[in-house]
A = this chain, B = another copy of it.
Amino acid sequence: MKITIYDTTLRDGTQGEGMSLSLDDKLKLAKRLDQFGIHYIEGGWPGSNPKDMEFFKEVKKLKLKHAKIAAFGSTRRANIKVTQDDNLAKILETKTEAATIFGKTWDFHVKEVLKTTPKENLAMIEESVAYLKSKGLEVIYDAEHFFDGYKANPKYAVETLRAAEKGGASYLVLCDTNGGTLPTEVFDFITKIKKEVKTPLGIHCHNDCNLGVANSIAAIQAGAGQVQGTINGYGERCGNANLTSVIPVLVLKMGIPVMPQEKMKELTELSRYVTEVCNMPLERNQPFVGKSAFAHKGGVHVNAMVKNARTYEHIDPKLVGNATRFLVSELSGKSNVLVKAKELSLDMDSESPETRKILEKVRELENQGYQFEAAEASFDLLMRRMMGKEKKFFELMEAHVHDELLKDGKVNSNATVKLRINGVVEHTAAEGDGPVNALDKALRKALIKFFPVVEKIHLIDFKVRVINESAGTAGRVRVFITFQDEKDTWTTVGVSENIIEASWQALVEAVEYKLLKGEKI
């Protein structure tokens, strides 16, 4: 049996805290998921959200090559005809190829939430599936709370599945809606249910016990034919089963070709694209695709990795489009510094006194609040400085920023910067959207005559964090600034009690890093 991947990032994913997608975001994501080779993309719930209806109209124009778009909805309401049900009518209005409808498995929910009889619930399931099917749609049936329902009343739970089967569903998807089931239970129940129905089974897990991926894998091992989940595991509460883990485990670890192995090379980029479109924080330690997923810090590990990369990596990170990283921190051994030195073509070996000196400096600065793991450009500059290979392109004489908040809601920020560059004093002023923007503009205005390249770089990210939180606004802040040119991005760090000074440090290093790169070429 071919196993299919069903993505619900656009629907169940948006139930996650902090997730919110515009119509344009949803279309971008659908296009990308299709390119990646996802088999089904759940686009939304047209009956609950007008934006979703618009999505179904627009997505047709994208002419997806691979994925079927599914509209989500519930079984008809109790005691009405299917033709009278708004929610089913809205699904038909989307004119998609597939519909996924969820129904109640658990008699407790039938009574408490639907407030109807177990018998009427069975009719609701069968009739709703049959109705959509009669209109030419493929119908996937999501058995909500299947595992809890089966534990409470196995006979009734199976009857609900049979009702969907009679209606003509293409998959009966067993949902661990509340996320409380263990992998061994999932395996047992699927094994049992396979004997009760003929329709292929699917699995839909949530991560409330940190077992969402394991439960999805257990279901496939027991013979399920479809996995539902979301990219990066987005979803309500603790999220849905994380497809960016489930898919590579199936393909690379278990040899189940849910998609070609070649495609796995796009996984990291896919994950980061989705993170960005969803404007969610990057989860550095996410398996397979996280920035830390193949990052080595302990001296012993780095030492062994230098000898042979297989020693501390379960797969070659290239298989999923990710890369090995060696981190520099106070825990670093000499090996980490030497690996970095090699990257920078600096002449250094484990006996060099500079190696020890650099390690000590890193420890000292990290104690002050700096972090170099995420600010590799600042670390490059630090290494050069410690090796006496620093180059000062300009010198600050003074800088001022003035912000004003006015009664009518207007706000202005102005900066002046006075630098000495090759013996020449440049004094510039600029207005900006905020003090850091104003400083950035004034700084580059002062430099542009001498270094025209600064015109081509721009700041793309700016993050601020209070380090010692108990001191509040008077606490020390750490600023990360990311710049971009035509083909590269780089991040620098600044630390101070004053956010303006920390930002200035990071701004200056970001510019210096670019100027140094230019020198090398």
Binding site for B on A (CB under 8 A): 14-18, 20, 22, 48-49, 74, 108-109, 112-113, 177-180, 182-184, 207-214, 217-218, 221, 233, 236-239, 242, 245, 248-249, 253-254, 276, 279, 281, 284-288, 290-301, 303-304, 307-308, 310-315, 327, 329-331, 333, 366-367, 371, 373-374, 396-407, 411, 413, 432-437, 440, 458-467, 469-470, 472-475, 477, 496-501, 504
A236 with B296, Cβ < 8 A, contacts A210-B213, A398-B404, A399-B404 known: yes
Q: Are B238 and A285 neighbours in the complex by a CB distance under 8 Å?
A: yes
Q: Given B213, B297, B400, B461, which contacts A15 in the complex, CB threshold below 8 Å?
A: B297
Which residues of chain B have C-beta atoms less than 8 A from A183's C-beta? 183, 214, 217-218
A285 with B398, Cβ < 8 A, contacts A112-B307, A182-B254, A297-B15 known: no
Q: Are B209 and A432 neighbours in the complex by a CB distance under 8 Å?
A: no
A405 with B399, Cβ < 8 A, contacts A253-B182, A472-B462, A498-B434 known: yes
Q: Given B16, B237, B405, B467, which contacts A396 in the complex, CB threshold below 8 Å?
A: B405
Q: Are A304 and B113 neighbours in the complex by a CB distance under 8 Å?
A: yes
> Which partner residue on chain B sits nearest A457 by CB separation?
B472
A464 with B464, Cβ < 8 A, contacts A182-B217, A313-B178, A404-B400 known: yes
A-B contact pairs, 30 of them (CB 8 A): A15-B297, A15-B298, A17-B295, A18-B374, A20-B331, A22-B367, A109-B304, A180-B315, A208-B288, A209-B249, A209-B253, A237-B292, A237-B294, A237-B296, A238-B292, A276-B469, A398-B407, A401-B401, A401-B404, A403-B435, A411-B496, A411-B498, A411-B500, A434-B477, A434-B496, A435-B500, A440-B473, A460-B469, A462-B464, A462-B477
Q: Are B400 and A403 neighbours in the complex by a CB distance under 8 Å?
A: yes
Which residues of chain B have C-beta atoms less than 8 A from A108's C-beta? 310
Sort A-B residue pairs by CB-CB distance and give the 10 closest, nearest first: A180-B314, A214-B214, A437-B473, A210-B245, A459-B472, A464-B464, A178-B314, A433-B497, A434-B498, A210-B213
> Which partner residue on chain B sits nearest A479 by CB separation?
B464
Q: Are A407 and B396 neighbours in the complex by a CB distance under 8 Å?
A: yes
A sample of 20 more A-B contacts (CB under 8 A), given A17-B327, A210-B287, A411-B496, is A18-B284, A109-B304, A112-B304, A112-B307, A178-B312, A178-B313, A182-B217, A184-B221, A209-B249, A237-B294, A238-B286, A239-B285, A397-B407, A401-B402, A411-B498, A432-B473, A437-B473, A461-B469, A462-B473, A462-B475
Q: How far is the CB of A285 from chain B (nearest CB, A)?
A: 5
Q: How far is the CB of A121 from chain B (nearest CB, A)?
A: 15
List the number of copies, as a whole number: 2
> Which partner residue on chain B sits nearest A329 by CB separation?
B20
Which residues of chain B have C-beta atoms less than 8 A from A333's C-beta? 48
Q: How far is the CB of A318 from chain B (nearest CB, A)?
A: 15
> Which partner residue on chain B sits nearest A48 by CB separation?
B299
Which residues of chain B have C-beta atoms less than 8 A from A214's C-beta? 183, 210-211, 213-214
- Most chain B CB within 10 A, of A214, A295, A303, is at A214
Which residues of chain B have C-beta atoms less than 8 A from A178's C-beta? 312-314
Which residues of chain B have C-beta atoms less than 8 A from A212's C-beta? 210
How far is A233 from B285 in the complex, measured between Cα atoms in Å? 10
Q: How far is the CB of A449 from chain B (nearest CB, A)?
A: 21
> Which partner residue on chain B sits nearest A291 by CB separation?
B17
> Which partner residue on chain B sits nearest A500 by CB separation?
B403
How far is A461 from B467 in the complex, measured between Cα atoms in Å? 9
A504 with B373, Cβ < 8 A, contacts A236-B297, A298-B236, A472-B462 known: no
> Which partner residue on chain B sits nearest A402 by CB separation?
B402
Q: How far is the CB of A519 from chain B (nearest CB, A)?
A: 24
Which residues of chain B have C-beta atoms less than 8 A from A16's C-beta? 285, 292, 297
How far is A327 from B15 in the complex, measured between Cα atoms in Å? 10
Which residues of chain B have C-beta atoms less than 8 A from A237's C-beta? 285, 292-296
> Which partner residue on chain B sits nearest A497 by CB separation?
B433
Q: Are A405 and B504 neighbours in the complex by a CB distance under 8 Å?
A: yes
How far is A184 from B215 in the complex, measured between Cα atoms in Å? 12
Q: How far is the CB of A323 from chain B (nearest CB, A)?
A: 13
Which residues of chain B have C-beta atoms less than 8 A from A496's C-beta? 411, 434
Q: Are A238 and B290 neighbours in the complex by a CB distance under 8 Å?
A: yes
Which residues of chain B have C-beta atoms less than 8 A from A367's C-beta? 22
Q: How far is the CB of A509 from chain B (nearest CB, A)?
A: 15
How far is A143 from B221 in the complex, measured between Cα atoms in Å? 28
Q: How far is the CB of A475 from chain B (nearest CB, A)?
A: 8
> Which partner residue on chain B sits nearest A404 by CB separation?
B400
How far is A469 from B398 in the complex, measured between Cα atoms in Å? 29
A435 with B285, Cβ < 8 A, contacts A405-B396, A462-B466, A462-B472 known: no
Q: Are A366 and B499 neighbours in the complex by a CB distance under 8 Å?
A: no
Which residues of chain B have C-beta atoms less than 8 A from A398's C-beta? 404-407
Which residues of chain B have C-beta atoms less than 8 A from A434's C-beta? 473-474, 477, 496-501
